[in-house]
Structure 1
Amino acid sequence: MRRDGIRVNLFRVGHVWHYRFQLEGARVQRSTRETDRQRAAQVAERAFRHAKLWARNGKAIPTLRQLVEQWITIHAPTASKAHVKVVETFGRLHLYEIGDALIDELSTDRVELARVRHLETHAPVSANQWLKVMRLLCNWAVRRGILPAMPFHLRGLKVQKKPRAILPVKLAQDWLAAIDEREGERDAVRTAVRLMLGLGLRESETISARWEWLDVERRIYTPGRTKGREADPIPVPGWLLDYLMPKRLPAGQILVKPNGKPYAAGFTRTAMLAANQAVGAPHITAHRLRGTFATLLSESGVPVQSIQRALRHKNLTTTAAYLEVNMDTVAQGQRHIAEKIGFGLHPPTSGAPMANEAA
């Protein structure tokens, strides 16, 4: 068949029809996934029409693979490296059979089948992350006017939540001492873990931390490079200020290599894992140190809205996910409620005598 003077060839591989055409010097060849020639011709015609529009104005319907490339090109200069890496990995390893599908040809069935493929080699929590990236890309296409609406509707899988580690208060001093002993005179990791524990900074925010963002008189630190582009001041606790003052410079990066280059992502991980093993702490990482900061604030009575501001989260739900439940505080609250209601003291479940009985 011919479209605008360009021949679109249909041919079969086994029982499935494929199409092939050339447009502006580029050869396009894909499967229609159809065994019926008439339906295959419709798929080929639509693919040619989209390709032609794309060549003219850049706003035609791209394939999922092309959409990934566009997203990375546009967001790489401004998004965090970790965020870009997630999308890049998705596009490189996890497109499966839908990678060369035009995104308006995506459907709930096709996306669900691709997720099934992902689950063959990955855990359900990874499949939910995969679906999250799919939604991110398609919602971006909707906002740009490439798609009229989301082409699929699929819920995430229910995943059994696991308790996440926080650094126990009773181990904190020994844990920091283990970090210091391992690092010796190398100051970067020692300072970074204290910035994370004391201010709730992300590891990336410790890498970019600068002395001029520390206001000693007001005892606040205002991160100048953050994931969400916020510039909210954070109170600096006295113990952290005492640690930083002997190292303080008028300006410049707080953490810097001898050669002047910044540290790479993950530079604190090895020291943290070694400290965990040395003192018997749970699996503390940079992310869980930030979670420890949030949880300890919550246990100290800080409202969740204030914790959200300190963590620089746009969504309160994100903040809530950082907070681990402390059943000791729940039990204490239950006792206060009982006293207010007038229930009084109840005998311990262990069978020990009540105070008046012991007397």
Structure 2
Amino acid sequence: MDTTNPAVSPLRQRMLEDMRMRKLEPRTQEAYIRAVRKLSAFLKRSPDTATVEDLRNFQLHLVDTGTSPITLNATLTGLKFFFDTTLGRSELMVRMQPVKLPRTVPAVLSVQEAAALLAATRNIKHQAALSVAYGAGLRASEVCRLKVGDVDSQRMALRVEQGKGAKDRYAMLSPVVLARLRSWWRVGRAQGKMLPGGWLFPGLDPMDPLTIRQLNRAVHDATAAAGITKRVTTHTLRHSFATHLLERKVDIRVIQVLLGHKRLETTSIYAHVATDLLREVLGPLEQTPPA
């Protein structure tokens, strides 16, 4: 984000500096600024003049205009930073309450569908990247930010640097994923795209990494080519990774570590979509005498 633009107001400049001091991610900074901009548009005046009643009416406005729970809560988080940190007036947010998010289960591919999707990926770089997303359970952002040096073939691990929550961790590296990475590395090096110590999946400019948008576009194309009718994103491959491990009786606490989840509760959602586990359960009706 540009923090030196002379057209930026002193108030916004201070908020930008507050976020920069705390090293917030660029996307987080953009979301927080967007939240304050929404409030300004609603008030039709500077956001630092808002009262408790103004903020309450603003939340009612968001609800009445059909704002989704996720967007609404994200807006409140941005406003909380603005009032608590930038203005030092935390008392203004006392009546702003986040809404409860609906509990949903993620879409998951079968093992056969995941294999078909990867096989239908025409670009070898995209196939290797999606193989990492499914074979190691990485987030799209984590896949895109991998560097060549993050592949540890001796320990059969992938180093994930500064994943979600600004934490480093190691992810699993299977022989199949390693073989696909080596195939891509040979092709990428021959094409002059693999720079020493550079990105494992470079973008059009080798100095830049592959973007999340480009990766999701590759998933959509492969999904259509494989004839899969489910709505699939790169994150669906991560969900599928966790679900398939659980169905293979891998301890859920191990899966939690591999996914980089802070809380076991987050990982436990996959118990609701592991259909192989459900099929193994003997229902009470099966034990009753035949009619």
The answer for the alignment partner of 2:211 in structure 1 is 264
Counting only pairs closer than 5 Å after superposition, residues 139-150 of structure 1 correspond to structure 2 as 142=84, 146-147=88-89, 149=91
> 1:256 & 1:290 partners in 2: Cα distance?
21
Match of 1:294 in 2: 242
AA at the equivalent of 1:169: V
TM-score (norm 1): 0.62
2:221 matched to 1:274?
A: yes
Matching of residues 19-58 of structure 1 within 5 Å? none
| Structure 1 residues 58-80: Cα deviation after superposition (integer angstroms, max 9, x where no partner) | xxxxxxxx4x6544444358333
Q: Is the 8 A contact 2:256 2:264 kept in 1?
A: yes
1:246 matched to which residue of 2?
Answer: 183
Residue 93 to residue 214, structure 1, CA distance change in 2 (3 Å):
same
> What pairs up with 1:105-254 in 2 under 5 angstroms?
106-107=51-52, 109-125=53-69, 128-138=70-80, 142=84, 146-147=88-89, 149=91, 151-158=93-100, 160-180=102-122, 183=123, 187-248=124-185, 251-254=197-200
Structure-2 change in CA distance of 1:142 and 1:112 (3 Å):
closer
Deviation larger for 68-77 or 308-317 = 68-77
Confirm whether residue 255 of structure 1 aligns to residue 201 of structure 2. yes
Larger-gyration structure (1/2): 1
Displacement of 1:255 in angstroms is 1.0
- Counterpart CA distance in 1 for 2:97 and 2:277 is 34
* 1:98–1:110 CA contact under 8 A, matched in 2: no
* Alpha carbons of structure 1 residues 329 and 70: separation in structure 2 relative to 1, 3 Å: farther
- Residue in structure 1 matched with residue 19 of structure 2 by the alignment: 75
- Structure 1 equivalent of residue 190 of structure 2: none
Greater relative CO, 1 or 2 (CA 8 Å, sep 6+): 2
- Aligned counterparts of 2:97 and 2:228: Cα–Cα separation in 1: 39
Normalising by structure 2, what TM-score? 0.75
* Native 8 Å contact 1:295 1:324 kept in 2: no
- In the alignment, structure 2 segments of 5+ residues that lack a partner are 1-9, 186-193
1:234–1:310 contact (8 Å) kept in structure 2: yes
Q: Distance in 2 between matches of 1:197 and 1:220?
A: 14
Change in 2 beyond 3 A, CA 1:318/1:74:
farther
CA deviations 1:197-239 (Å, max 9, x no partner) are 1112222222221121111111111112423222211121221
Following superposition, the deviation at residue 113 of structure 1 comes to 1.8
Question: 32, 35, 48: which is aligned to 1:102?
Answer: 48
Q: Secondary structure at the match of 1:234?
A: strand
Larger fraction in helix = 2
Letter matched to residue 222 of structure 2: A
> Identity across aligned pairs (percent)?
19
Cα distance in 2 for residues equivalent to 1:76 and 1:267? 27
Change (3 A) 1:258 1:331: closer
- Equivalent pair of 2:32/2:78 in contact (CA under 8 Å): no
Partner of residue 188, structure 2: none
TM-aligned CA deviation for residue 90 of structure 1: 2.2
